[in-house]
């Protein structure tokens, strides 16, 4: 995330003067725990992808494999780890 601005640098009224810049807001930094997948155990069932409330599980649909996580937007809720039938996902505390 870019350096946070001081109050004197802000647009009055908190108005956003640039269209479509929500993509710059990396909501992943709300996370306190990060999911980590062990691909040795993963059976590519895509349960994590189906249950993720934030669309933050990355899969390669053509190859049929679960690739990893979009840490810019994953909020660390742990649903993926909870639903994983192969117990392949661990939640690691963020520092």
Partner 1 sequence: MAKVMELKTRVLGLNGNAAVAYAMRQINPDVVAAYPITPQTDCVERFAEYVSAGLVDTEFVTVESEHSAMSACIGAAAAGGRVMTATAANGLALMWEVLYIAASLRLPIVMMVTNRALSGNINIHCDHSDTMGARDAGWIQLFSENAQEAYDNIIQAVRIAEDLNVRLPVMVTQDGFIISHAVERVEVLDDELVQNFVGPYKPVYPLLDLAHPVTYGPLDLFDYYFEHKRSQIEAIDNSFPIIKKVGKEFGKVTGRTYDLLETYRLEDAEYAVVALGSTCGTAKEAVNVLRERGKKVGLLKIRCFRPFPRKEIAAALLPLKGVAVLDRSVSFGGFGGPVFTEIRSALYDAPSRPLMMDFFYGLGGRDIYPEDIEKALQTIESVVQKGTVEEHIGYLGLRE
Contact set with partner 1 (CB under 8 A): 4-8, 10-17, 19
CA–CA gap between residue 93 and residue 25 (Å, rounded): 22
Minimum distance from residue 69 beta carbon to partner 1 (Å): 22
Of residues 66 and 73, the one with the C-beta less far from partner 1: 73
Minimum distance from residue 2 beta carbon to partner 1 (Å): 11
Of residues 6 and 93, the one with the C-beta less far from partner 1: 6
Question: Is the distance from CB of 47 to CB of 92 less than 8 angstroms?
Answer: no
Minimum distance from residue 57 beta carbon to partner 1 (Å): 24
Of residues 13 and 93, the one with the C-beta less far from partner 1: 13
Name beta bridge partners: 92. 34
Reference 78, options 46, 95, 56; nearest CA is 56
Reference 77, options 56, 59, 62; nearest CA is 56
């Amino acid at each position: 995330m870019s350096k946070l601005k001081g109050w004197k640098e802000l647009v009055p009224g908190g108005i956003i003067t640039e269209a479509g810049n929500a993509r710059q807001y990396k909501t992943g930094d709300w996370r306190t725990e990060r999911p980590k997948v062990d691909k040795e155990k993963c059976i590519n069932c895509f349960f994590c992808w189906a249950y993720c409330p934030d669309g933050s599980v990355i899969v390669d649909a053509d190859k049929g494999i679960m690739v990893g996580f979009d840490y810019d937007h994953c909020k660390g809720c742990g649903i993926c780890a909870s639903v994983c039938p192969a117990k392949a996902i661990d939640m690691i505390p963020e520092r």
